[in-house]
């Protein structure tokens, strides 16, 4: 089952994002992230968090509609998104998409990206995406093709960014990734003193 978690970060409801939302088997509104569903006239299956940033009329609507609420105290040892991700994993998600998890504050974005590592031990493919980018963390084969590689950008010669961070590398990567490199000399790196 594909679970979509809507976090409280900035999110434009582009056609790609709408497709992800409408194709979800389960939607979790993560606290104020539930507001992203309102313009689509969609309610989540579950709402998770301390509910300090969700509009109160929206929370009341969820209560009246019987949306499954997982309420948590404001003082806790996990973020609302972390709690929602753990719930999705515990309920048997076979894939997870996080929307509204990028943009805004850099510390939140980085924390959300690191949350993807929680899915690796369970073998659950997970991604964080917005209208401009899609980030996967995987320790398995990942195939990306077609429309996924078309990007809007200010420089037509720029293409997708693929980053291979050294996260617990135990064997050499035998991947074959190719893309054109610009014909210019790299600038020397000047060490900070």
- Domain residues of the chain, as ranges? 2-138
Average pLDDT over residues 128-144: 78
Q: What is the pLDDT of residue 169?
A: 39
- How does residue 150 score in pLDDT terms, banded at 50, 70 and 90? very low
Distance of CA 149 to the CA centre of its chain: 17
Average pLDDT, the chain: 81
Which candidate, 58, 64, 127, places its Cα nearest to that of 99? 127
Fold of 2-138: Rossmann fold (3.40.50)
Residue 80: pLDDT over 90: yes
Question: How many Å apart are CA 174 and CA 10, to the nearest integer?
Answer: 36
For the entire predicted model, the pTM comes to 0.76
Q: Which of 50-59, 110-119, 142-151 has the lowest mean pLDDT?
A: 142-151
Higher-confidence residue of 21 and 170: namely 21
Question: How many Å apart are CA 149 and CA 74, to the nearest integer?
Answer: 40
- How does residue 20 score in pLDDT terms, banded at 50, 70 and 90? very high
């Amino acid at each position: 089952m594909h679970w979509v978690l809507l976090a409280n970060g900035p999110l434009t409801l582009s056609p790609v994002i709408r497709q992800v939302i409408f194709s979800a088997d389960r939607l979790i509104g993560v606290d104020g992230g539930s507001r992203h569903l309102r313009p689509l006239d969609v309610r989540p299956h579950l709402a998770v968090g301390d509910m300090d940033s969700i509009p109160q009329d929206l929370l009341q609507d969820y209560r009246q509609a019987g949306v499954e609420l997982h309420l948590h105290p404001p003082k806790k040892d996990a973020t609302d998104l972390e709690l929602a991700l753990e719930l999705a994993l515990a309920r048997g998600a076979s894939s997870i998409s996080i929307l509204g998890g990028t943009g805004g504050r850099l510390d939140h974005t980085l924390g959300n990206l690191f949350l993807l590592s929680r899915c690796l031990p369970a073998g659950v493919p997970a991604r964080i995406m917005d209208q401009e980018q899609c980030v996967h963390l995987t320790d398995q084969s990942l195939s990306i093709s077609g429309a996924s590689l078309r990007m809007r950008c200010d420089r037509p010669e720029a293409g997708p960014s693929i980053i291979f961070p050294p996260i617990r590398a135990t064997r050499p990567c035998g991947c074959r990734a190719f893309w054109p490199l610009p014909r210019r000399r790299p600038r020397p790196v000047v060490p900070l003193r």
